[in-house]
Chain A
Amino acid sequence: MTTSATPGEARSASGPALPIGPKPIPRRFHQARWDEPIIFELSTPGARGVLPPATEPGITALVGDPAAALPAGVRRSAPPALPELSQLHVVRHYTRLSQENLGADLNIDVGQGTCTMKYSPKVNDRFARDPRIADLHPLQDLSTVQGVLEIAWRLERLLAEISGMDRVTLQPGAGSAAIWTNVSMIRAYHASRGDTARDEVVTTIFSHPSNAACAKVAGYKVITLYPDADGYPDLDALRAAVSDRTAALLITNPEDTGIFNPRIEDFVRVVHEAGGLACYDQANANGLLGVTRARDAGFDLCHFNLHKTFSTPHACGGPGAGACGVTSELARFLPRPTVEFDGSAYRLDDDRPESIGKVRPWYGVVPNLVRAYAWIMSLGAEGLREVAEIAVLNNNYLMQRVLEIRGLSAPFAAGKRRIEQVRYSWDEMTRETGVHSEEVGFRAADFGAHYWTSHHPFVVPEPMTLEPTESYSRADLDEYAAILRTIAAEAYADPAFVHGAPYQSTIHRIDHEPLDDPERWAVTWRAYRRKHLAPDPAEAT
């Protein structure tokens, strides 16, 4: 119909017009949907993606083909049944898959509370990829790696100052590995004193599950404290829990509720008086940088997640990097080697008889150590303090905005401010509409937003955990709140619609049931083919 309009004539309200109308809130997003096959389905027999160097004739002339001489028992009888693709097709497949992934660079990544999804500066990626980091071998002569050792040494000193601890190891692979490292040092400390009766560790339900799980693997019985009526870790419960069997307290502060434990010094004192060590899981440190320190509260050990607080990218779930800080009394138990500096040269000290040994091959996730170092050096003391303050401001601003939404609440510590994150509850909305928190996340995907509930168990019913960090602007926070408000309104108006989400995402609602059925689950394509596809007649012959 619009084709009949004459030039210069104003279009009707239903047709295109200038000025272009305002953008709706939230934005009209649609994720890439390539309907991409499994890579095995893209295979063309004979195609090659990359060619390894061929053996020179001079080598063959001297040694023949040693692979052919392998005895039958250890020689591969047929090449592995990998897919065969030309290079472009590998690139295209993975580029499509990458488009079907929202990274923190694309979304307002405040929905993964506890994980501090802050911006990872691009310049730091450049350092990490430099051949003078990426192509160093860990056994090179120390004279050829003074730069990377200096970075490790300097980073250790920075983190020691930030935590107040005396020494720091950068060896753990990520946060849970750092928790393990601390638990292992706690075990070594008590063993060194012949104090072997200590077989219990105390933690809290709002501390990361790995605190409980690592302690269990290290041989400890785990006592888990629940919050008091106000949402604070329960000091009386702690007093009742500690004894001469207490090896340590493993605690997060603020806990995953974003509530700072004002009695933290009492917690440390109670554990110390019982002869245990106090270990601080600083996964939630982002709101406290330059504000308060682990050592000042009396802790003996602490750990940071460099991929959270110190900006290294989360890489779809690693590599991250962990750092453990300890007092000088515990330094002898640190993983070996340590980096040492004598005023002119850096060296590795591997001769540490009381060390717990290795917690990882070599020295740590080096590219992320470089990134974390560069990040801190771009901010300095005042910058770190500003990171904390803005992260906390952003959190309290976002809390104010989202608590305007019908059906949402922030359990515990009513009327109080929070530190860097909040664990909310959609319980009221769920009871009134039948829409669960998890489904809010499915629908959030339709708006290009990542969303997470909480760790298990769901102590807070229908949980949602938001942590806005310092990286997001006020407009970003408003946009995220608008997405949640829209979804809540949809839930009240038409719950069935939310039950059917996502609509604009890469895929539609998954049936998870087969994933728990041994007859049907398939962790690999070969298992899927065996269990669910008819045998290929060509292979049968």
Chain B
Amino acid sequence: MTDQQARPHPYIPNAVPEVKAAMLRAVGAASIDEFYADVPPSLRLTAPLHLPEPFRSEAELVRHVEGLLRRNTSTRDVLSFLGAGCYPHHVPAVCDEVAGRSEFLTAYAGEPYEDHGRFQALFEYESMMGELLEMDVVNVPVYDGFQASSTALRMAGRLTGRRRVLVPASMSRDKRSRILDYVRPDLDVEEVAFEPATGLLDLAALGRALGDDVAGVLVENPGYLGVVEARAAQIASMAHAAGALAIGDVDPSTLGVLAPPAAWGADLACGDIQPLGIHQQFGGGNGGFIASHDDPRVVMEFPSRLFGIAPTAVPGEYGFGDVAYERTSFAVREEGKEWVGTAAALWGITAGVYLALMGPRGMQELGETMMARTRYAMTLLAAVPGVRVPFSGQHHVKEFVVDLSATGQTVAAVSRGLLERGIFFGKDLSTEHPVLGQAALVCVTEVHAQADIDRLADELREVLR
């Protein structure tokens, strides 16, 4: 029988004993240990790590991992109304195809020559996002929308030389946590209340909070509670009157129907591209965008890479490279703007593919369909006895709050009941925003057919019976 342990590992070509010996001879080393001469003996492990026995054959590995995956229930196999920052949209097959191309998947920080394709695809991503946002400058993606919002606030701080920033009190607790951790040394974050009746930002509270020490006002539109901020332009004007920047924090999937932040006066736009053709991945599929007008003073405050178009030695040929690279920590370490590193380039390429597939009409239809289905769901759920849809007088695109307080049941209990019927109900808001009562945030997108929404209403009625 073959000695199983002697088989060279398929991922390590030079593990073949004869090759290894020949290479050692070639470098004049008696053993591998010679290479570790600088590692003090006191630090060297004398026994193997305590790790589980490996699955050296691919078949055994597949069997093991499949066994773990079987303990997960995909949203494809149930009816899921979960959103709250990770969205169930249809991912076109072409997005998967391009994101899976090994030339893109396995490349890294390539130079503009041998990895021209990556530069062009990311320039095109920036360009299509620029059209969606009606802004001339869009970054190569940062990690996620939380990072983008945090950096946009820091940019506002640097541009104004001020310390206070205002964010909506309706913002998700996790996002607020991320922003606080990131800006703490340089910015003071203050929350602006929302109107209990509408879910809109409280303009009187905003007026009281604004002052000549405010660097920026972050406007989520739609807000975390799903409400379209209909007075966004007024908020931006109020920010500008105080000498602060207006930052539009938006969901790009809504921009076929909602005005881009630039149109209502935002100086910076930011958000997450996960809705644009990227799978939910248990929350692991994020990418953050930051955009601005082409004002050099603002451009110089971006920490991210910005790929720009440039001529080559050959007429008619497009080249690409880093715009104003000296801003970055890659160029000047701690003297750069914040920091830059490996983030979410492939998701940028993928989002670009999505926008190219959808085109202007596709994005418009997506928005229209989501708005109609969401309103339909709001209407049906509001008709379920005891269920209230608190902000139903406002405009919504893909999420809305339902309040189950009057049913006498908790969201947790109702969600369990629906789970037994193959439905993932919305996010439980009762601990995050207790002021809303036993409330849940329900997400409806283009993937939810009328029959799915009907079924949710019917099953909810049954669970509450």
Contacts and interface: CB of A to CB of B under 8 A. Distances in A.
B98 A474 contact: no
Interface string A446-457: 001111100111
B65 A450 contact: no
A183 to B, nearest CB: 10
Interface stretch (A240-248, A355-363, A484-492): A355-363
A134 interface: yes
B11 A471 contact: yes
Given A313-B106, A357-B177, A523 B136 contact: yes
Interface in B113-144: 113-118, 120-124, 126-132, 134-138, 140-141, 143-144
Interface stretch (B36-44, B206-214, B238-246): B36-44
A436 B54 CA distance: 46
A18 interface: no
A457 B330 CA distance: 9
Given A67-B257, A366-B282, A471-B11, A82 B45 contact: no
Given A74-B259, A145-B72, A59 B373 contact: yes
Interface in B1-42: 5, 9, 11-15, 19-20, 22-24, 26-27, 29, 32, 34-40, 42
Interface string A393-431: 111110010000000000000001111000000000000
A55 B54 CA distance: 51
A485 to B, nearest CB: 16
Contacts of A100: 115-117, 120
Contacts of A261: 38
A394 B24 CA distance: 9
Interface string A170-211: 000111110010001000000000000000000000000110
B113 A507 contact: yes
Given A222-B333, A316-B104, A516-B323, 5 more contacts: A75-B258, A76-B258, A260-B36, A393-B23, A524-B130
A474 B19 contact: yes
Given A80-B131, A216-B334, A523-B306, A318 B101 contact: no
29 contacts: A53-B446, A54-B369, A65-B371, A67-B368, A74-B229, A82-B359, A94-B349, A95-B101, A100-B120, A139-B424, A150-B71, A216-B334, A264-B43, A311-B11, A315-B345, A317-B346, A318-B346, A319-B143, A358-B181, A364-B284, A378-B55, A378-B58, A383-B12, A416-B38, A450-B110, A470-B11, A507-B112, A508-B312, A511-B312
Interface stretch (A3-11, A20-28, A118-126): A118-126
A105 B356 contact: no
B228 interface: yes
Closest 10 CB pairs of A and B: A362-B283, A176-B341, A219-B185, A380-B54, A366-B284, A138-B283, A147-B71, A49-B357, A357-B177, A101-B117
A102 B107 contact: yes
A325 B143 CA distance: 20
B279 interface: yes
B358 interface: yes
Contacts of B379: 62-63
Contact of B69 (A105, A121, A132, A174): A132
A95 B15 CA distance: 35
A478 to B, nearest CB: 10
A40 interface: yes
B197 interface: no
Interface in A90-123: 90-91, 93-107, 109, 112, 115, 117-121, 123
A519 B124 CA distance: 20
Nearest to A378: B61
A133 B369 contact: no
B204 interface: no
Contact of B311 (A39, A126, A510, A521): A510
A101 B308 contact: no
Interface stretch (B86-94, B162-170, B188-196, B402-410): B86-94
A314 B342 contact: yes
Given A50-B362, A95-B101, A292-B44, A363 B343 contact: no
B369 A138 contact: no
A141 interface: yes
Contacts of A67: 257, 367-368, 371-372
Interface string A301-345: 000010100010111111110000000000000000000000000
A255 to B, nearest CB: 11
Contacts of A69: 395
Nearest to A119: B11
B307 A523 contact: yes
A316 B110 contact: yes
Nearest to A364: B284
Contact of A222 (B27, B334, B343): B334
Interface in A432-452: 441-442, 444-445, 448-452
B347 interface: yes
Interface size classification for chain B:
35 or more
A218 B186 CA distance: 9
Contacts of A387: 11-12
A67 B312 CA distance: 45
A168 to B, nearest CB: 14
B338 A505 contact: no
Given A376-B51, A393-B35, A316 B345 contact: yes
Given A390-B20, A448-B114, A102 B258 contact: no
A349 interface: no
A416 B37 contact: yes
A370 B132 CA distance: 33
A471 B76 CA distance: 36
A419 B342 contact: no
Nearest to A511: B311
Given A162-B49, A393-B14, A361 B85 contact: yes
Interface in B329-354: 329-334, 336, 338-347, 349, 352-353
A311 B299 CA distance: 35
Contacts of A132: 69-70, 72-74
A320 B342 contact: yes
B359 A48 contact: yes
A50 to B, nearest CB: 4
Interface in B276-324: 279-287, 294, 296, 299, 306-314, 316-324
A58 interface: yes
B68 A209 contact: no
B385 interface: no
Contact of A74 (B22, B230, B360): B230
B143 A177 contact: yes
Given A147-B70, A361-B283, A507-B116, A90 B49 contact: no
B146 to A, nearest CB: 5
B62 interface: yes
B40 A262 contact: yes
B464 interface: no
B396 to A, nearest CB: 8
A36 interface: yes
A218 B182 CA distance: 7
A460 interface: no
Contacts of A502: 113
A508 B323 CA distance: 19
Nearest to A78: B360
Interface centre among A139, A387, A417, A524 (most CB of B within 10 A): A524
Contacts of A50: 92, 94, 357-358, 362
Contact of A367 (B92, B137, B281, B369): B281
A389 interface: yes
Contacts of B255: 76, 80
A526 B338 contact: no
A71 to B, nearest CB: 5
Interface string B213-225: 0000000010000
A177 B371 contact: no
B136 A507 contact: no
Contact of A123 (B35, B43, B62, B117): B62
A79, A151, A370, A474 interface centre (most CB from chain B within 10 Å):
A79
